[in-house]
Amino acid sequence: MDQITVGLRAERIVTVDESMTAQSLGSGSLPVYSTAAMIALMEATALEAIEHLLQDGLASVGTKFDIQHHAATPVGEDVRVQAEVTDVEGPRIVFDLMAWDDKDLIGEGTHIRLVIDTPALLEQLTE
């Protein structure tokens, strides 16, 4: 956990396809990049920034998002997401997230993840 520090970053790029649209995901009627797909990419990017630093038996889980989706992105354009660690308090990690398409900043916000003991959580689920 000590290796997870403010300033850690990760970035991912995807090309929007039909499966990522609001129409396809059932979150709207338009054939544009969905908020749900953007949030999933943001979460995956945040995870990528820290996952390789977690000790065996630890994992991180998403607990909160505060996201704004500013602009529509058509199928075929690239979306680039950047996640940066902005605060670490014990097991709580806060990320700033930003997403751009080929033209604009399309989304931004914050995300919180908690580092958990995987075996302990899985044991709780079977009780």
pLDDT tens track for 103-123: 999 999 999 999 999 988 888
- For residue 1, pLDDT over 70 is answered with no
Q: How many CB atoms sit inside 10 A of residue 29's CB?
A: 9
Compute CA distances 27 → 6, 13, 23, 68, whole Å. 34, 22, 6, 15
Give the CATH H-level superfamily of domain 9-126.
Hotdog Thioesterase (3.10.129.10)
pLDDT at 29 (0 to 100)? 94
Compute CA distances 80 → 66, 95, 106, 117, 118, whole Å. 18, 16, 10, 31, 30
Query: Would you kindly state where each structural domain of the chain is located, as residue ranges?
Result: 9-126
Higher pLDDT residue, 58 or 2?
58
Do 111 and 97 meet the contact criterion of CB atoms below 8 Å apart?
Answer: yes
pLDDT at 121 (0 to 100)? 81
Element housing 45 (H / E) = helix 35-50
